Chains A and B, each alone.
Chain A
Amino acid sequence: MSTATRSLPRTIGAHAILLTYTAIALFPVILVIMNSFKSRAGIFGAPLTPPTPKTFDLIGYTTVIGQGDFIHYFQNSLVVTVASLFFVLLFGAMAAFALSEYRFRGNSLMGLYLALGIMIPIRLGTVAILQLMVASGLVNTLTALILVYTAQGLPLAVFILSEFMKQVSDDLKNAGRIDGLSEYTIFFRLVLPLVRPSMATVAVFTMIPIWNDLWFPLILAPSEETKTVTLGAQLFLGQFVTNWNAILAALSLAIMPVLILYVIFSRQLIRGITSGAVK
């Protein structure tokens, strides 16, 4: 079994470590999904067992779909996430292109300034943001959330993308210039397709915190009309009584869209993470 490149004990060891890690990482997720299909008594009686015919109950899901306006919350979350993602990628890529492609005075200072947001949490500015939104009449709108999340996502996007854009061949861009392509065509048709893997990386890192965020929806858009899924799930979280069935069901449902988006991006993502390692 042992060959020059692998030995049995080492293979077993590596798999054991990876499997343990996978189990630890997946455990809470599986626990949530499992319990979301159980009755209240089932959840509290034996939280670690999968649903049996006796404990199986869809009460959580019926509550979620029946009580809160969950479809609507989902729609809000999706609109906010997708729109923010679109703007982060578009503006981030454009800024990164300018920083990596054009020589102008204060170029590196500008790059540093744009990357500063990575180090300073946007939540520190919550009060000011709220005042700003109140003044501009954007409280309780999805626009407010999209604007805040775009601002939140841009620093990392600019930072990562400008590194990748520097690697795009200058000759290719110059060939485009000689062929008479405009700078926009060069950006959209030549450069963007080549940095697609890194765009996917940025997309995943940007998307997940936005989807899971509770802070800004709670502060900027808590109205029934603009509630997001994470905020909607709070409905079932009472001070004295908590509807665990509904919460677990809501969380299980909330995993789905992120999972779908992740699967779409992940094919690109793997290439994005390794693309610098080998030519």
Chain B
Amino acid sequence: MGSLKIENVKKAFGPVEVLKGINLEVTDGEFVVFVGPSGCGKSTLLRVIAGLEDSTSGRVVIDGADVSATPPAKRGIAMVFQTYALYPHLTVKNNMGLGLKQAGTPAPEIDRRIGIASSMLSLEPYLERRPAELSGGQRQRVAIGRAVVREPKLFLFDEPLSNLDAALRVNTRLEIAQLHRRLKATMIYVTHDQVEAMTLADKIVVLNAGRIEQIGGPMELYNSPANEFVAGFIGSPKMNFIEGARLGETAKTIGVRPEHLTVDTKSGAWKGTVVHAEHLGADTNLYLDCEKAGLITVRIFGVYDAEPGATLYATPDPAKTYRFGADGKVLK
């Protein structure tokens, strides 16, 4: 009902190549997140899927049908935008119903679908209001509702949480996850926030500079990143990268996550001085300037008292240390 296949899609704006050959397959009901730094082409890829941009070459196949030359409205998709993009002159109800009206759906059917979507998103009290009279979170729920009523094959989310404040972001994230569970629809979600990617996705697609770096489940990317970029992008705080030569290793770079380091006041692999300590309650981030490894981050679970200037020894977990070759790829 909602599979997607992207075959060697390339997109160039003049001489600038934004997508350099993307191949991807999404099966029905999957929640796929495109994640990557700004300018990596993730939004462009979403726009190509939606039909808002034409790809320079390659094919987009939705449900077995090549839609490369189909206008957006006929692709069976719905999209939620970062800036909500509600029609300012229409009420919530008409905002949600406009797409169906354009497609010639009978009015009772439109009302029925709006009823279902609005109860799902608890928008019933606001149906007669205009977007200007709603808060940011409500507006984004209306935008999601507008997508839901279309009963699309494919939901496309373009950084839908970026304009919301932190508390609302967590709530709306939860709502999107529940929505996916209830509708069992195929969803494609673009974000630059790796926390959103990890919490929502069945499958994460990490993009960088117009190329797919790695595709996999959240834990797969965390536990076995294919290369240095993915290793650095997934996980917070960021993985420590240390030049192999400084540690007397053959690998170009050694990577170890802050949570896979232990500290001790007396002995350990790397001797260092505490530069700064961040106390978050549940965990403590220490920044250590080590003689051998340089500046590294250590994440300790729970409270840990360490003053800047104190001497500590950090020891990496050898089973969870990654070794990268000169080309950035993981060495097995």
> Chain A: residues with CB nearer than 8 A to chain B?
169, 171-172, 174-181, 189-190, 193-194
* Interface check B87, CB cutoff 8 A: yes
Alpha-carbon gap, A177 to B72, bound state (A): 6
Residues in B neighbouring A190, C-beta threshold 8 A: 87
Of B50, B85, B98, B99, the most chain A CB neighbours within 10 A belong to: B85
Per the 8 Å Cβ criterion, residues 60-112 of B in contact with A are: 71-74, 77-79, 81-89, 98-99, 102-103
Give me the 8 closest cross-chain CB pairs, A-B, nearest first: A180-B73, A179-B99, A171-B85, A171-B81, A180-B102, A175-B85, A172-B85, A171-B83
A174 to B51, CA, bound (A): 10
Picked from B81, B87, B88, the residue with its CB within 8 Å of the CB of A174 is B81
Known: A169-B85, A172-B85. A178 touches B103 (CB 8 A): no
Are the CB atoms of B102 and A179 closer together than 8 Å? yes
CA distance A190 to B146 in the complex (A): 17
In the complex, per-residue mask of B101-129: 1 if CB is within 8 Å of any chain A CB, else 0: 01100000000000000000000000000
Contact between chains at B83 and A169 (CB < 8 Å): yes
Contacts of A194 in B (CB 8 A): 88
Q: Which residue of B lies closest to A103 (CB)?
A: B13
Of all chain B residues, which has the CB nearest A177?
B72
The answer to the question of B52 belonging to the interface, with a C-beta cut-off of 8 Å to chain A, is: yes
Residues from chain A with a CB closer than 8 A to the CB of B81 are 171, 174-175
Q: Which residue of B lies closest to A180 (CB)?
A: B73
Tally of A-B residue pairs with Cβ under 8 A?
Answer: 57
Q: How far is the CB of B202 from chain A (nearest CB, A)?
A: 24
Instruction: Enumerate chain B interface residues (CB-CB to A < 8 A).
Output: 47, 50, 52, 71-74, 77-79, 81-89, 98-99, 102-103, 146, 158
Complex CA gap A193/B158 in Å reads: 25
Q: Is the CB of A180 within 8 A of B83?
A: no
**Can you list 27 A-B contacts with CB-CB less than 8 angstroms, sorted by A residue number?**
A169-B83, A169-B85, A171-B83, A171-B85, A172-B86, A174-B47, A174-B79, A175-B85, A175-B86, A175-B87, A175-B146, A176-B87, A177-B72, A177-B73, A178-B50, A178-B52, A178-B77, A178-B79, A178-B99, A179-B73, A179-B99, A179-B102, A180-B73, A180-B74, A180-B99, A180-B102, A181-B73
- CB contacts (< 8 Å) of B102 on chain A: these are 179-181
Docked complex Cα distance between A178 and B102 (Å): 10
Most buried by A among B72, B82, B88, B103: B72
Contacts of A176 in B (CB 8 A): 87
With most chain B CB atoms within 10 A of its CB, the pick from A172, A178, A189 is A178
A174-B72, A175-B87 are known; give 18 further A-B pairs, CB within 8 A: A171-B82, A172-B83, A174-B47, A174-B52, A174-B79, A176-B87, A177-B71, A177-B72, A178-B50, A178-B77, A178-B78, A178-B79, A179-B98, A179-B99, A179-B102, A180-B74, A180-B99, A190-B87
